[in-house]
Amino acid sequence: MPMTKYSDFFREKKFLLMFISVLFFYLIALYSGPVVDDDKQIEYNARNIVINDYLGFSVSSDTGNWMRLANNPLLLFENERYVKNRKLTAGNVGLSRPGSFITVYLISKPIEKVLNLLSFSDQKIFDNIRNSLNSGYRFGRIQQTVDDTVSDLENFVSTYLAWIIFNVVVIFLAFVLFCKSLKISVFKISSYSNIGLWLGVFFIINDITKIYFVSPSPAILTLLAVSLTIYSCELIKRDCRLKILLWFSFLFGFLNLFYEIFFAPFIVLIIFYMKVKFFDNKKKLNFFLSEAKFYFLCILLFLFPYFSWVGIVESFFGGYFHFGVHDNPGFGILKNDFLTILTYIISLAKYGYSLAVLSLFPIIFMFIFLLSYYFFTKEVIVLNKDYLLIGIIYNFIILLFFSLYGQIGVRHTLGTILIFLPLIYSMLPLYDQKKEKKNVFFTAGFFLIYSFFVARKVFPFGEGILRNPLI
């Protein structure tokens, strides 16, 4: 009887258990040791952290600053920073995205109290962390130690755990919203036998989570920007109401305080709303003119949160600073003539897009396979034109903006591939339930292998030096 009970349990929950197993395997692979060679740490802009003989990971060198800011958000107003006469990036590097650091700080406070109650302290672990972090300075021949910048590593345990919680929430929301856009509920056991849900695993296992889950950074919010783009447009498609447009305009503006990439979802949503309203619903020009004031209101709602923050900083904290514009001049290419600008944009966009294509090569292979399938079977492809349009607009905005900005990387462009997942889902041939479940088994097996590959390769550490995301 007990065996029957267990077999029934496994039969009902097997796809959910497979899903959990894939994620658990990915998590273990991420923390199973540094992926950057010790002597490459400085060159690849990385630091290795060794906890013990079994656990360790690599982090971006920027992580130190993000940890400092989340540990003490007042450092957002730090204008200069020197360590042993070396000028380092000051805390105001995060002034343009305060939301992430303040949120993580608030999450860390109850964690800190719990850790204090537990009196958690293992000196050997902290010695291992110090020694591994100092190895980067030794190999780079830099006369500095981690104690020169962080006097008490123990104080950052709650901050790191808070970042992990923040990252889990962001990834979970991105995954849930993607599935919801496809009318799939992640809270139903039966959904885990749906191939659409498994497509959403690309929101969980990718080069952004590979680096920014273990190496905290606001850049992980790129995933949420993509899924919110898909979800908000899907809501407009189902019910093209002005209220939805206004609400999301404010939401995207607010989220821009966490990471300045939510301008892209905002622009896509505005364009898609107009498309549904005036092309699908065949509204006339007079209607557009009568609604023009509401589009202006959307822009105000989007800008209000960010400009409120700028106003507060200008009024009470000595002036606003944007690292990308002031110390690391973005948009410098705009000083050149048109032909130079155009050539530069095309070159940088090609580079950025190639990173995304190689980083998410299974999605590209899937798309090619589907096109080949329809070509050889002579079946008619029913392309969802809305999904295609959303993807094209998002691609254009991201590639144009970051090419003009002068810095483009996989953290910016990965979303340009993920945005097409709903299109791929709409192209999948219809299978009977039995065959679809069989395909899910193969998909789970693929993700098990793919998760290990993503977690244990070096890239995106060394991005800019390493040109191949598959290394």
For residue 1, the model assigns a pLDDT of 44
Q: How far apart are CA 141 and CA 134, in angstroms?
A: 10
Q: How far apart are CA 187 and CA 173, in angstroms?
A: 13
Count of beta carbons in the 10 Å neighbourhood of residue 21: 13
- What are the pLDDT tens digits along the chain (471 aa)? 455 666 656 666 899 999 999 999 999 999 999 999 999 998 999 999 999 989 999 999 899 999 999 999 999 999 999 888 888 888 899 999 999 999 999 999 999 999 988 876 778 888 899 999 988 888 888 888 888 888 788 899 999 999 999 999 999 999 999 999 999 999 999 999 999 999 999 999 999 999 999 999 999 999 999 999 999 999 999 998 999 999 999 999 999 999 999 999 999 999 999 999 888 777 777 777 777 889 999 999 999 999 999 999 999 998 888 887 776 667 888 888 999 999 999 999 999 999 999 999 999 999 999 999 888 888 888 789 999 999 999 999 999 999 999 889 999 999 999 999 999 999 988 765 567 778 899 999 999 999 999 999 999 998 888 877 888
Taking Cα atoms as reference points, which of 298, 270, 415 lies closest to residue 356?
415
For residue 403, the model assigns a pLDDT of 92
Tokens of 130: 């110090």
> Please, what is the angle between helix 157-181 and helix 98-118, to 10°?
120
Tokens of 112: 């800190």
Question: 19: buried, middle or exposed (CB in 10 Å: 19+, 13-18, 0-12)?
Answer: buried
In three-state secondary structure terms, 307 is helix
| Under 8 Å between Cβ of 121 and 154 | yes
Q: How far apart are CA 469 and CA 456, in angstroms?
A: 12
Tokens of 410: 């996989």
For residue 318, the model assigns a pLDDT of 86
Place of tokens 């989570």: 209
In angstroms, how far is CA 404 from the centroid of its own chain? 21
Tokens of 335: 């000083």
Find the distance separating the first CA and the last CA of the chain, reported in whole Å: 51
Residue-wise burial string across 299-338, b where 16 or more C-beta atoms lie within 10 A, e elsewhere: eebbbebbeebbeebeeeeeebbbbeeeeeebeebeeeee
Taking Cα atoms as reference points, which of 181, 180, 389 lies closest to residue 276?
389
For residue 5, the model assigns a pLDDT of 60
Count of beta carbons in the 10 Å neighbourhood of residue 251: 18
Q: How far apart are CA 300 and CA 287, in angstroms?
A: 21
In angstroms, how far is CA 83 from the centroid of its own chain? 31
- Domain residue ranges in the chain: 33-166, 218-315, 321-457
| Under 8 Å between Cβ of 264 and 398 | yes
For residue 452, the model assigns a pLDDT of 97
Q: How far apart are CA 79 and CA 91, in angstroms?
A: 7
- Ramachandran sector of residue 378 (left: φ over 0; alpha: ψ -120 to 50; beta: rest): left
Q: How far apart are CA 45 and CA 57, in angstroms?
A: 14
